[in-house]
Structure 1
Amino acid sequence: MINKLAIQIREMQDLAEQWETINPSVSSSSIGWHLAHNLQVINGVVASIAASNPANYAPKHTFVKWLILLTKKIPRGKVRAPKYVVPETISKEELEEALDRASLSVLNLLNQSPKQYFTHPMFGDINTKLAARFLWIHTEHHLKIARDILK
């Protein structure tokens, strides 16, 4: 899964060149917003995992979590991002810095124990392995939107 995330980050680097592009029929946000949001999620999740105490891991089983992890899809327009991962302003330089951090963050996942975790606002605690899968699914969701913006 780490390799898949690395490939997605490479695609985000390519898309960053068109960060200001908007297509209101697809999304009211620019490609840059989708990339910046996704990078905030990647960097935040990995930082949370690294700081977590595996002894406190308490998974929560929900149908929606199971469905998203199984289908590998997040439905568009059904969920709003929490305020702490909504980018306010986006510059190309900030986007490039976040991309660099995300490349390192993904590699950092390899150094985490399996029971380290982050707490998702809807899904509860998600361990390292499932977090990598969630990040790949979430990233693919925003990459699909960015691809559609460019169509």
Structure 2
Amino acid sequence: MKYFKYLFGTLYLLAGIAKIFPQIEDVGVVLKNAAIANQGTFLERISNYLYTHELVITVISGLSLFLAGLTLLINRYLIASSIGQMLMLICFVTLLHRAYWQVIVMDTVFFIFAVLVLKEQLMLKKQKNIQLQRIYQS
């Protein structure tokens, strides 16, 4: 799992940095396509809102991805980070799936990884609590 954390951490870092460069990923175009694809659906208003605030969304998504990668690489705050990643990925898939079906496949892989990291961290936390209980009882 350690090496997967490095791999996914690096991918998240690179994705966060890529948001800065429209030549790599133009968030404005992505949001515009999502707004067009979501017309006539319950996502129309939020898609239009996100598109009209593309700079803020670019900064938020880039920073979120970068910080998710950083937490994986430094191996800290992984429970909160995994929960945040899952929520972020659900939002990405919900908003973008009509315009970019590939987001479902790619983000599912990242979602499964976040679930596995969360499960691992919760098990480690449980083991530590059991050890502490044993120490206090003796």
Q: Give TM-score scaled by structure 2 length.
A: 0.29
Bigger Rg, which one: 2
Q: Give TM-score scaled by structure 1 length.
A: 0.28
More helix by share: 2
More strand by share: 1
Higher relative contact order by CA 8 Å / sep ≥ 6: 1 or 2? 1
